């Protein structure tokens, strides 16, 4: 017989199992009973802790996103200049996704949340990335130039959308091209354009 545990430990245990199973089978093909069985606990307990299937999924999603955001932020901050920061950011993005394939499956599935209250929360998580990118773009503007905030948002959304799509495409392509190839192509494609917007 399994012992009882305190709430925080059990929550972590449930979250880990959920991440694993959602990652393997996707949102739709995973039932709350499956997760309950994996943890060795009954379904209502999960509902008590996470409220709903969406809630549980969202908890997985936001933990994973935070890890990814950390990895990318770190790479960006460690770079000596803006150009290399951009390249490093791209590489670390694709590399993280390579090294955490299950994590990535969960995130791709977030389309699942297109409706409902959880959608809002999911958007916020995504928004973190857009903000990271927007900040980088802003830092690289000449200080005297009046910032067109709308334009910055457009650029940040575009880059975020592009990298996300590339990551999806890449998994369907059995992991090629390499992160470096992707990063350098993006770099070439975008760098001059960013320069042009600066003018």
Partner DNA sequence: TGGAAGAACTTACCCGCAGTAAGTTACTCG
Partner DNA sequence: CGAGTAACTTACTGCGGGTAAGTTCTTCCA
- Binding region for DNA (CB under 7 A): 3-7, 10, 30-33, 40-45, 47-48, 52-54
CB 18 within 8 A of CB 52: no
Look at residue 154 and give the partner it binds from DNA, a second copy, none, a contact being a CB closer than 5 to 8 Å depending on partner kind: a second copy
Contacts to a second copy by CB under 8 A: 25-29, 108-112, 114-116, 123, 150-151, 153-155, 157-166, 169, 172, 177, 181-182, 185-186, 188-197
Look at residue 114 and give the partner it binds from a second copy, DNA, none, a contact being a CB closer than 5 to 8 Å depending on partner kind: a second copy
CB-nearer residue toward DNA: 46 or 136: 46
Q: Smallest distance from the beta carbon of 154 to a second copy, in angstroms? A: 5
Q: Smallest distance from the beta carbon of 119 to DNA, in angstroms? A: 14
Q: Smallest distance from the beta carbon of 171 to DNA, in angstroms? A: 24
CB-nearer residue toward a second copy: 41 or 57: 57
Look at residue 19 and give the partner it binds from DNA, a second copy, none, a contact being a CB closer than 5 to 8 Å depending on partner kind: none
Which residues are CB-contacts of 108 (< 8 A; sequence separation ≥ 6)?
A: 168, 171
Q: Smallest distance from the beta carbon of 29 to DNA, in angstroms? A: 7
CB-nearer residue toward DNA: 51 or 101: 51
Q: Smallest distance from the beta carbon of 171 to a second copy, in angstroms? A: 12
What is the chain's Cα-based Rg? 19
């Amino acid at each position: 017989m399994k012992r009882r545990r305190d709430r925080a430990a059990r929550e972590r245990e449930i979250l880990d199992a959920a991440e694993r199973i959602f990652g393997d089978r996707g949102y739709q093909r995973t039932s709350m009973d499956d997760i309950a069985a994996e943890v060795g606990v009954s379904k209502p307990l999960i509902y008590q802790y996470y409220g709903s299937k969406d809630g549980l999924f969202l908890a997985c999603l936001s933990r994973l996103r935070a890890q990814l955001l950390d990895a990318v932020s770190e790479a960006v901050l460690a770079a000596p200049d803006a150009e290399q920061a951009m390249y490093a950011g791209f590489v670390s993005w694709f590399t993280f996704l390579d090294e955490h394939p299950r994590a990535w499956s969960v995130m791709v599935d977030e389309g699942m949340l297109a409706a409902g209250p959880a959608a809002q929360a999911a958007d916020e998580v995504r928004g973190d990335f857009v903000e990271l990118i927007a900040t980088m773009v802003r830092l690289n503007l000449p200080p005297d130039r009046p910032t067109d905030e709308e334009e910055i948002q457009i650029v940040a959304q575009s880059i975020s959308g592009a990298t996300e799509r590339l990551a999806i495409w890449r998994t369907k392509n059995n992991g090629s091209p390499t992160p470096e190839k992707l990063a350098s192509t993006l770099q070439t494609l975008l760098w001059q354009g960013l320069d042009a917007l600066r003018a």
